[in-house]
Amino acid sequence: MVRYGIIGIGNMGSAHAKALYEGKIDSATLTAVSDTNIDRRTWAQNEFGAGTAVFEDYESLLTSGLVDAVIIATPHYSHPDIAKRAFKENLHVLIEKPAGVDTKSVKEMNRVAMESGKAFGIMFNQRTDALFGALKYYVELGLLGEIKRFNWIINNWYRTQAYYESSSWRASWNGEGGGVLLNQCPHNLDIWQWIMGMPTKVMAFCHEGQFHDVYVEDDATIYAEYPNKATATFITSTGEYPGTNRLEISGTMGKAVAENGVLKLFLLDKDERDICYNSTKSMPKEKVTQITVNIQEQVDGHILIIRNFTEHIENGKELIAPGLDGIKSLSISNAAYLSAWTGSFVDIPFDETRFNELLEAKRQEEKEKGNAKNSVDIPSEAAGEYSDRWQVRW
């Protein structure tokens, strides 16, 4: 039996705590929670009763001897520091996405994780979505041939001003460290690199406060390149309604289109590169076979990730989302910020010191404008009720 502690029981952490408390994960039990906010601690006392220890300070939870593993669901900036402390206490760690705010501190967390030898996972719950699993399988199988283009327009992350004001740390460089790319899109950036591998060059346009009264970007467009000449575009915002979620991958043998939870394949009989150079016609009409892939209904991915993490601890089952992978999607969003801030292409790997200097400049600029929010010690006003808005939103 794995005894879990949850650090940060706001929106997401309270859902993880409830899933464990309600016995939705075999061989796992909730023994402790921690939150700096008194309201959240009172909620936990009422919800879970005496069997679950409630701490204000996460250090006390880590050293209590009551837990074997922790799930860290605090604001992003704090993930690496809390994870490192937990590894030092010989605990297994499952962190929420994003892994952190900057890759430098995430690299340090990854180093400590590897040294500890403890289990390390990240809550990339969308990896459990059968649609993305199928897409990854087909691309790796070579069904689409050599990939030419990856194109994802995902602007169905609509949020209101009330959302941005729902927790004091949100929507600022000091409190959150980024906007839509860092908060909503780590899942999508992870699925992108999970299927396609890492791009080596990006150019990005990030518009801060485009649709809301916020300091960070709520609208972003990333253009990226791969060494084999493939390109990618990624377009997102939290300010368009109704939104779109359309992912299209095209290769030399056809294309795959995922939209509204439906995955369609459009497959050629011959490689387009052969057609291009060997056909005598200027605009040939080739046979295209269209297949609609039967996708299993999505179950709660968060629960699947905690189950998988528990099985990994208990019997060494392979992790769906290893913690070390968190740096990949963060590298894409960090590189995108660096590109937007400097107005130039950015290679991956990029200059992390330069990124941290420019992030610090954003934080200072924001403070000068009168916003001194930071992610530590500021109580959350979040309602703390699990809602299905965390599900994959096709």
Ligand X SMILES: NC(=O)c1ccc[n+]([C@@H]2O[C@H](COP(=O)([O-])OP(=O)(O)OC[C@H]3O[C@@H](n4cnc5c(N)ncnc54)[C@H](O)[C@@H]3O)[C@@H](O)[C@H]2O)c1
**DSSP states of 38-103:** HHHHHHHHHHHGGGSEEESSHHHHHTSS--SEEEE-S-GGGHHHHHHHHHHTT-EEEEPSSS-SSH
> CB atoms < 10 A from the CB of 369, how many?
10
Instruction: Compute the least distance from the CB of residue 6 to ligand X, in Å.
Output: 9
244: how many CB neighbours lie within 10 A of its CB?
Answer: 13
Footprint on this chain of ligand X (rule: CB under 6 A): 7-13, 34-37, 40, 58, 73-76, 78, 96-97, 123, 125, 167, 183, 376, 379-380, 382, 390
Beta carbon of residue 203, minimum distance to ligand X (angstroms, whole number): 25
Least Cβ distance, residue 301 to ligand X (angstroms) = 8
Q: Which is nearer to ligand X, 123 or 206 (CB)?
A: 123
Q: Considering beta carbons, is residue 7 or 332 the nearer one to ligand X? A: 7
- DSSP code at position 322: B
- Taking the complex as a whole, how short is the minimal distance between the CB of residue 213 and ligand X, in angstroms? 19
Q: Which is nearer to ligand X, 8 or 251 (CB)?
A: 8
Nearest-CB residue to ligand X?
A: 10
Of residues 257 and 383, the one with the C-beta less far from ligand X: 383
Closest approach, Cβ 329 to ligand X, in A, equals: 12
- In angstroms, what is the minimal distance from the CB of 253 to ligand X? 34
List the alpha helices (DSSP H) in the chain.
Answer: 11-21, 38-48, 58-62, 79-88, 103-116, 130-141, 161-164, 186-196, 272-278, 301-315, 326-342, 352-368
Answer whether 211's CB lies under 8 Å from 237's CB: yes
Which CB sits closer to ligand X, 12 or 134? Answer: 12
Q: 261 or 379, CB closer to ligand X?
A: 379
**Minimum Å distance from CB 319 to ligand X?**
15
In the bound state with ligand X, the residue whose beta carbon lies nearer, of 76 and 159, is 76
Rounded Cα distance, 251 and 283, in Å = 18
- Identify whether the C-beta of residue 338 lies closer than 8 Å to the C-beta of residue 355: yes
**Closest C-alpha to 328, from 130, 128, 191:** 191
Q: Whole-angstrom Cα distance, residue 262 to residue 394?
A: 9
